[in-house]
Each structure stands twice: as C-alpha cells, then as structure tokens.
C-alpha cells in the first residue's frame, strides 16, 4: 500500500512540476482568430499613417527588414538575443538544400522517429525523400523530419549544428548560435530578430526554399503512401502579399513568426519573437506589415544627389583654388558607394521636404589626387539624415614645378618683352 502511495506521489510530482516542451503550434490551442476581421481592424488603425511610436505590440522583439535596401524599417529590441523555436528550421532547410540531393531516399532512424514536439509522424524505418522531408520540416514543422535531415547530411545532430553555425558565420550572423535542427529550448540556441530576418532574406533567394514556404497544401509520400500536409503559417493565403515563411513555438521562446510579404515593388520580411499567444503574434505581424506598406515608399536618392551636385557645379564653376596647383579646374563627383544603394525606403511624409546640403572646402593644396575626399553631401528631411555621401575629386592636379613657374613668368611678360625687342622706328 505504501509503495503504491509513493508511486502516486512521485507521478503527481512530475506532472505538476515539469511542463512539457512543445515546438510549434500545429493545432489551434486557443480561441480562433478571424484573420479577415483582424486585417480590416488593423488597416483602419493604420489608415492615418500613425507614427511608429504609437504601435502597440505584445512581442518581446520584432523587426521589419526591407529586402531591397536591407534597411530596418521598424525595430523593437531587434538586436537582443532571444530563443527562436522552430524558426530555426529556416537555417536547417538552407543547410540541407545546399549540401545534399533532394531526390535522395532517407530511412528514418529510431532517434529521428522518437523526437518530440511537433511532428511529421515518422516511424523507425520509414522511407521518404529529402524533398518530402523538407516539406514536412517547413510546412508542418516536423521535429522528426529535422533530425532525419540532420542525420542524413552530417551523420548526427551535433555535426549538423556545426554546419549551421558555419553557415551563420559566413552570413555575418555574429549573435546567432545553433545547437539543434529543430529549435527545442536550449540555453545556447539563440538569435536576434534582425539576424533572423537577414537569414530569411538569404534563404528566400533559393527557389526550392521559396517554393516550399509558399505552399499552402502538399502531399508527401512515406513508404509509397500519400500524406496531405497543410502549412502552419496562418497568414499565408490570408494576408495580401504574404508568400512565406515560418512559425515557431516553445515554452521558452513563446510564439514566433517570420513573414515575407511583397506588394508592388516593396518586399519586406517581418519577424516577431516572444509573443504571449498565437493571437498576439498574428496581430503583431499584421500590424507591422500594414504599418510598413502604408507609411513607406522608395526614393531614388542617387538621382536626387547626382542632380543636386550637377546643378551645384554649374553655379560654382570657379569655387576651388588649388594652392601651388597646375590648375584650379577641379571636378567633383559623388562617392561610387551610392551605386550599392541607389534607392532608400523612407517615410512618405518625409519626401516633400527632402533637401540636400553640400559641404566642401574651397581652398585646396596640390597635388590633388583623383578620388580624394573633399567633403560631403547630406540628404535630409525634417531634421532626419537620410544619407550622407562623400564628395570625391574627379580630377588629378599636379603641383607646379620650376619649369611651370618659368613658363608662366615668360608668358605673363611676353608682350612687354616683345615690345622691348622690336627695332625702333626712327624717322629718316
């Protein structure tokens, strides 16, 4: 009797003391969210171009990254380290796609089949292709698929994590570290909202990854039998322009969502990490996406800066004096770095007040080298600096030498010397 009582007490202790660790919310575990109504409500909220300071967000950290310019359009704790849950699988898929044939058939190990959390539903000995495992990984967030892929590529989870971290390092993700291919909670498994956005931007450049995360429903084949999958991303197919990418949930990370969205020529990635509920992560994502598209547009800063400088040169043709220089004819140009980002994404209300100021020293010293920095040009609006560019010399002007001075001396006095050397016209 005492033995049975002891077992009951031990069982109750474990039930109430330890919470299970979940990874991804495949099934709806809270009140249903009417996304269409939520989109309408948030659209009305952002219709008056509200300032970003007025955005009320539940997520612990978030970011909106413009894919074309790589600018942060909105950020909240975007560079703070945080757990990432199953958004980890963005990196998992990237490493798999770049390192193994998608047509390879995989036999599922006991370890992979026994992995907990969200699952594709694999059993030991199941046969499935790498391609179908990727669909199970990204659409259904299968942790069993993640381990099966990791073992297929590297032989083990620890070895695969090394590949993940090597890739992160090559992408310049200095505040990101991976310990698993699935993202179950681990103290040394983390990223930031900003670096996760950068990783996603890279991953989306791969057509295989792009196609999978944009698929709403897909049928995989396991042991020759079909299995229909549906995507866990609640915004895919519901919010205008959304074409991916990944959901996530663990007890430590809370609710996470990475979303890619394109409308017109603007293409963004929205990351929310650490939302308290699935509803909050969905609402925060919709709010950030609608805010961005209502308030930002592209501006061709290269054309603006170049035209401004050209007009300035016309009005200041004699602006420069080159001390001891062979010439004062100095041509200037905008630093070629502007070619890397000829456009910027800026708030729409800043565009009417955009202006440029040029700061150049007029007194220079020879020799003046080509590409020498002579000052800067600042593009701004309402006190906000949009871009600061170096102004470079587009001329080489050498320093005068002794022969130059002699030449100028004789040239200056040539008329007087000619008069002195002419024969006198005396009367006969």
Task: Tell me the three-class secondary structure of 237-262, residue by residue.
Answer: CCCCCEEEEEEEEECCCEEEEEEEEE
Do 350 and 382 meet the contact criterion of CB atoms below 8 Å apart?
A: yes
Distance CA 116, CA 98 (A): 26
Distance CA 304, CA 301 (A): 5
| pLDDT digits 0-9 by tens, 50-89 | 556 678 999 999 999 999 999 999 999 999 999 999 999 9
**Percent of all residues in the chain with a pLDDT value above 70, rounded to a whole number:** 82
Check whether domain 316-402 has CATH 2.60.410.10, yes or no: yes
Confidence bin at 15 (pLDDT 50/70/90)? very low
Contacts (Cβ under 8 Å, ≥6 apart) of 356:
304, 305, 308, 377, 378, 379, 380
Q: Which of 61, 109, 118, 141 is catalytic?
A: 141
Note the pLDDT of residue 408.
60
| Rg, the chain, Cα only | 32
For residue 29, pLDDT over 70 is answered with no
CB-count exposure of residue 1 (10 Å: 0-12, 13-18, 19+): exposed
Check whether domain 41-49+56-296 has CATH 3.30.1510.10, yes or no: no
Confidence bin at 20 (pLDDT 50/70/90)? very low
For residue 222, pLDDT over 70 is answered with yes
Note the pLDDT of residue 25.
52
Domain definitions of the chain by residue range: 41-49+56-296, 316-402
Residue 141 annotated as catalytic: yes
Distance CA 290, CA 43 (A): 6
**Percent of all residues in the chain with a pLDDT value above 90, rounded to a whole number:** 73
Do 195 and 88 meet the contact criterion of CB atoms below 8 Å apart?
A: no
Q: Which of 59, 61, 83, 89 is catalytic?
A: 89
Note the pLDDT of residue 421.
53
Over the chain, what is the mean pLDDT? 88
Note the pLDDT of residue 340.
86
Q: Do 41-49+56-296 and 316-402 have matching folds?
A: no
| pLDDT digits 0-9 by tens, 112-161 | 999 999 999 999 999 999 999 999 999 999 999 999 999 999 999 999 99
Contacts (Cβ under 8 Å, ≥6 apart) of 150:
92, 156, 157, 159, 160, 161, 181
Least confident range from 6-10, 41-45, 293-297: namely: 6-10
| pLDDT digits 0-9 by tens, 171-218 | 999 999 999 999 999 999 999 999 999 999 999 999 999 999 999 999
For residue 24, pLDDT over 60 is answered with no
Q: Which of 86, 109, 260, 395 is catalytic?
A: 86
Residue 89 annotated as catalytic: yes
Confidence bin at 41 (pLDDT 50/70/90)? confident
User: What tokens does 345 get?
Assistant: 């994404």
Distance CA 409, CA 403 (A): 10
Residue 207 annotated as catalytic: no
For residue 314, pLDDT over 90 is answered with yes
Query: Judging by DSSP bridges, how do beta strands 321-323 and 363-365 pair with one another?
Result: parallel
User: What tokens does 226 get?
Assistant: 């079909």
Note the pLDDT of residue 130.
98
The structure's pTM equals: 0.84
Give buried/exposed letters for 350-383 (b at 16+ CB in 10 A, else e). beeebebebebeeebebebeeebebeebebbbee
Choose from 168-177, 302-311, 368-377 the range with maximum mean pLDDT. Answer: 168-177
Do 248 and 183 meet the contact criterion of CB atoms below 8 Å apart?
A: yes
């Amino acid at each position: 009797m005492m033995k049975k009582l002891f077992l009951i007490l031990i069982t109750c202790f474990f039930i109430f003391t330890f919470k299970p660790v979940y990874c991804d919310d495949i099934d709806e575990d809270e009140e249903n969210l009417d996304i269409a109504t939520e989109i309408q409500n948030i659209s009305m909220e952002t219709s008056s171009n509200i300032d970003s300071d007025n955005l009320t967000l539940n997520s612990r950290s978030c970011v909106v990254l413009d894919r074309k310019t790589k600018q942060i359009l909105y950020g909240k704790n975007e560079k703070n380290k945080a757990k990432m849950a199953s958004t980890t699988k963005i990196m998992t898929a990237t490493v798999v796609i770049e390192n193994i044939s998608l047509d390879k058939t995989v036999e599922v190990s006991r370890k992979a089949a026994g992995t907990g959390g969200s699952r594709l539903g694999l059993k030991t000995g199941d046969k499935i292709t790498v391609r179908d495992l990727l669909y199970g990984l990204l659409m259904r967030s299968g942790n069993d698929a993640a381990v099966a892929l990791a073992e297929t590529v590297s032989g083990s989870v620890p070895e695969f994590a090394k590949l993940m971290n090597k890739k992160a390092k090559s992408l310049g993700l200095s505040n990101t570290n991976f310990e698993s291919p699935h993202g179950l909670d681990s103290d040394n498994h983390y990223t930031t909202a900003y670096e996760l956005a950068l990783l996603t931007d890279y991953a989306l450049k791969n057509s295989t990854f792009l196609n999978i995360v944009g698929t709403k429903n897909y049928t995989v084949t396991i042991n020759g039998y079909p299995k229909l999958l549906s995507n866990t991303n609640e915004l895919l197919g519901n919010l205008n322009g959304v074409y991916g990418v990944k959901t996530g949930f663990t007890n430590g990370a809370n609710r996470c969502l990475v979303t890619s969205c394109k409308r017109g020529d603007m293409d963004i990635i929205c990351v929310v990490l650490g939302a308290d509920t699935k509803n909050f992560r969905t609402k925060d994502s919709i709010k950030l996406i609608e805010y961005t598209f209502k308030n930002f547009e592209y501006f061709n800063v290269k054309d603006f800066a170049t035209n401004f400088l050209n007009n300035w040169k016309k009005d200041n043709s004699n602006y420069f004096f080159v001390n001891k220089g062979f010439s004062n004819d100095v041509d200037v140009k905008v630093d070629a770095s502007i070619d890397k980002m000829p456009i910027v994404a800026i708030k729409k209300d800043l565009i009417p007040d955009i202006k440029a100021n040029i700061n150049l020293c007029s007194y220079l010293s020879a020799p003046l080298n080509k590409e020498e920095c002579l000052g800067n040009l600042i593009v701004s609006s309402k006190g906000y600096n949009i871009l600061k560019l170096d102004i470079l010399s587009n001329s080489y002007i050498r320093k005068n030498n002794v022969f130059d001075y002699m030449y100028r001396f004789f040239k200056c006095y040539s008329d007087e010397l000619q008069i002195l050397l002419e024969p006198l016209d005396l009367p006969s």
